[in-house]
Amino acid sequence: MAAKTRGEKWIRLLRAYGPVADNEAMQGEQVDGLARTLGIPKLAFEHPARKLLLDCFSLETGAFRNVVLTGTAGEGKTSLCFELVFQLTGNHAKGVGGVEEIRVETKGGPRTLTLIYDVTGWRKRTNGHISEGDVTLLERMARSTFDVGDEFFVLAVNDGQMHELFRALPPDVPQSIRKLESSLIDLHARHECDFGDRLRLVNLSMVPSERIMELCLAAVLDRPEWTCLEEESENPLFSPSFSLARNFRTLNTPQTRAKLMTLARIADVAGHHLPIRGVLCMLSNALLGHPDAKDRVLRPGPEANALAKTGLAHRAAFHRNLFGENLTATNRRKREIYRFLSMLHIGEETTNDFDELLVFGSRDQELRPAYDELVAADQHQQRNPDFDTLLQRYIRGDINSDDETQMFLSELAVERRRIFIQASPEQFLKSSLWKTTVFHHAREFLDEVVAPIQAGKAPSRLHMRKLATGLNRIWTGLLLSDHANEIYLTTGLDLTTSAVSDIFLAQLELDSELPGLEVVPKEAGSAPEVVLRTNGREFRFALTLPRFEFLCRVADGAMPSSFSRESCADFMSLKQRCLRDLKLRASTRSLQLIDVHGSGTIQRMPIHLVEQ
């Protein structure tokens, strides 16, 4: 049924970005089509990689580069190519057959630029391999990359398609194309950008998730069409008591926006990338999701009107939709963004103080003020009104069946998620809400490590010592002091990675002139790096949030291998590389065995290897 009002049209458009069935194959072009039909402009913002791309084509100097523009589906590759054509020629791209050739006059002379922005449309196959003509074009691109010439290329391709393209090359392609292939794979896999000065890989997945979240939030929320919530409030869809209005108001608060920005920062430092399409999908679903709608997302029309009258808006509350609770498990699983959110386990970890507040807060005089402020305050009516009844049954011990216990626990987790989303920064800190997630130390990581180093300062000494303690305990297998001032590099008698490694190799001082342990920033959107120095050499590794969390937990007393086998194996592999790259060898005159005193300090015991 066609949408009638402006508000309904806007919702139709916003819905197209959500996790609806036809979104899978929906390309930028199709959203364009829908936007045109509806007469509502699509979501738009300046692409964060735009400058990176335009910088490769300076009309001032004529110094062009070949560019491969890659990323996941929905990152905006095609739009960027269209924009480039417009910038260079002043004309709109024709967009026929997935390929376009333009001629550009520059101060350095004329240049020809071939853009392939739809590889599937452009590529022709014969006998399972790409056609001779396509091979010739790739050969020209390879020649331009490794040689000289005035002809340049832009290839916009999904990372999966890039490999498919190279896989489909006939076996006898010229060596130069193979060189192009290996150079690109190397740049891509190593997160690098330039090969010489004539080839650049612009990987849109490298744009910081935080920046993408900021742009997407603005693109969705700062739209004039939202006046529909006031102007069309008689329409059940836009009624203040229905989920859409409540969810919009929840999202459009500084607290929630900041919370989503933090989640995006977490993605960056945990080594995840949130693509534009994923973020838009998440936002669209958080607003429009409804578990009782036909395809779990509201569609303007009779169905939405009927749902609005049921009075069950809390079933589609923002903090439920945000994590995809309204969607089927299959639909959730196939989207990276929900896999990321579920990996955080938000609300799934129990914490004594906070759970006490949630369960007994309304009944306990002492807890009551905190309860009223944090739990009962629910400005946009997002809380499940049945939760109190469930809670009462739980407290009275009336919950007997496994099913009901399960339901109570899952509702308790939902409640923790609600507060996680709604809490102000002060409340968040006071109740240590990161403890309800898998990353108990996320705040310390962002505020005490990442933020200072980005501001050019060192992280606090306390946190450096914590890192050192964690490293010492994992790498030696011994319960060393929890206030380490130095890092001990040790090895086992048999293997570097022995569970107990007590042969001393080197000691790195945190406070030496050139610190033995340092955390240094990397480019925006990446985790910082740890640098270990000794023996005139250094060893670096990325300090991702999962690694930081593991080090902190171990420093706090967790047993490395029982806390996370995977992280433990990761650190063992790092240790093997570290000792190799620092070229540390035991002395041939004596072996220094280390032993731990009760206080966690070490004692060295030499074993002489030569006659006195």
Partner 1 sequence: MISLTNTEPYFGSKDRNEAWVAEAIWGHRVERQPFSALLLEFLGMAEGMYREGKLLEKTQPGDNPTYAANRCLQLRNLLFNNPRMEEILRNAQGSDEEAWATWLQVMRDNASLGDRLAADFSYLRKRFDSFGELVSVVRLLRRITADPGSERSWTMQFLFPIGPAALYEAIYEKGDGFEQTRRVFTRTGEIAYLMLSRAAEPLRAKIRERLAPSFDPNTSRNRLVMRLISSSEPDRGEMKGGTYLPYKTHPAFNRMAEDVAAILSLNLPDQDSFQYLQPLLGFHIYLYGIETANAWLGNKGLPPMTAEILAPRSDLVRKAAVASYLQNDGIGMLAVSKFLDATVFSDAQLQEKLADESLDDLAKKEYLAEHLVRTVSLKKNLDANDPRRLAEMFYSFATRLYRNGTGDGLTALATGCGLVSKRGTNRYRYAPTDELLRALVFANVTSPVEESAFLRHLYSRYHLVIGPAEAKDDVLSYLFDETDFKKNRDRFGRHLVGMGLARRMSDACTYVLNPMESFT
Residues lying near partner 1 in the complex (CB under 8 A): 71-73, 158-163, 167, 182, 185-186, 188-190, 205, 273, 275, 334, 336, 491, 493-497, 500, 566, 569-570, 573, 576-577, 579-581, 584-591, 593, 605, 607, 609-611
* Residue 36 or 334 with smaller CB distance to partner 1: 334
3-class SS letters over 76-129: CHHHHHHHHHHHHHCCCCCCCCCEEEEEEEECCEEEEEEEECCHHHHCCEECCE
Q: Which three-class secondary structure state does DSSP give residue 155?
A: strand
287 exposure class (CB count in 10 Å sphere: 0-12, 13-18, 19+): buried
Looking at the Cβ atoms of 303 and 581, the one nearer to partner 1 is 581
Choose between 278 and 459: whose C-beta lies nearer to partner 1: 278
What is the rounded CA–CA span in Å between residue 286 and residue 284? 6
Do the beta carbons of residue 245 and residue 503 sit within 8 Å? no
Nearer to partner 1, 104 or 471 (CB): 471
Terminal C-alpha separation, the chain: 96
Please give the Cα distance from 445 to 439 (Å, whole number): 10
Across 194-256, where does the E strand assignment appear?
A: 194-195, 199-203
Minimum Å gap between C-beta 608 and partner 1 is 8
How many residues are recorded in the chain? 612
Cβ nearer to partner 1, comparing 205 with 422: 205
- Quote the Cα angle for 321-264-30, to 5°: 65
Least Å distance, CB 229 to partner 1, is 35
Q: Which two tokens stand for residue 97?
A: 């057959």
- Tell me which amino acid residue 72 is: T
Residue with tokens 């630029």: 113
CB of 179 to partner 1, least distance (A): 13
Shortest reach from residue 573's CB to partner 1, in Å: 6
Question: For residues 61 and 590, which CB has a smaller minimum distance to partner 1 in the complex?
Answer: 590
Residues facing residue 57 across a β-bridge: 64
- Smaller CB distance to partner 1: residue 273 or 417? 273
Nearest approach in angstroms of CB 131 to partner 1 is 22
The CB-of-404 to partner 1 minimum distance in angstroms stands at: 27
Please say which residue, 252 or 564, places its beta carbon nearer to partner 1.
Answer: 564
Nearest-approach distance from CB 449 to partner 1, in angstroms: 21
Spell out where 194-294 has E strands.
194-195, 199-203
- Residue 494 per-residue DSSP state: S
Query: Least distance to partner 1 from the beta carbon of 160, Å?
Result: 2
Q: Copy the structure tokens of residue 340.
A: 């990321």
Give the whole-angstrom CA distance, residue 62 versus residue 103: 12
Cβ–Cβ under 8 Å, residues 275 and 72 = yes
Tokens of 121: 């449309």
Residue placing its CB nearer to partner 1 in the complex, 150 or 581: 581
Query: Considering beta carbons, is residue 175 or 588 the nearer one to partner 1?
Result: 588
In terms of CB distance, is 443 or 540 closer to partner 1? Answer: 540
Query: Exposed e or buried b for every residue in 125-162, given b needs 16+ CB within 10 A?
Result: eeeebbeeebbebbebbbbbbbeeebebbbbbbbbebb
Toward partner 1, which CB reaches closer, 103 or 577? 577
Report which of 338, 593, 606, 388 is spatially closest to residue 478, judged by C-alpha positions: 593
Closest CA to 138 of 176, 186, 167: 176
Residue with tokens 């009927």: 306
* Cβ-contact 482, 501 below 8 angstroms: no
> Closest distance between partner 1 and the C-beta of residue 128, in Å?
13
CB of 492 to partner 1, least distance (A): 8
Distance in Å, CB of 570 to partner 1, minimum? 5
CB of 523 or CB of 566, closer to partner 1:
566
* 29 token code pair: 């072009």
At which residue do the structure tokens 């891509």 appear? 188
Residue 470 CB, nearest distance to partner 1 (Å)?
17
Q: How far apart are CA 225 and CA 232, in angstroms?
A: 11
The strand pairing partners of 539, in sequence order, are 532
Classify 72 as helix, strand or coil. Answer: coil
Task: Identify residue 441 by its one-letter amino acid code.
Answer: H
Closer to partner 1 at the Cβ: 184 or 375?
184
Cβ 500 to partner 1, closest distance in Å?
8
What does the buried/exposed string (b/e) look like for 466-496 if buried means 16 or more CB atoms within 10 Å of the residue's CB? bbbbbbbbbbbbbebbeebebbbbbbeeeeb
Taking the complex as a whole, the smallest distance from the CB of residue 552 to partner 1 amounts, in Å, to 19
Smallest distance, partner 1 to C-beta of residue 421, A: 27
| Nearer to partner 1 (CB atom), residue 218 or residue 495 | 495
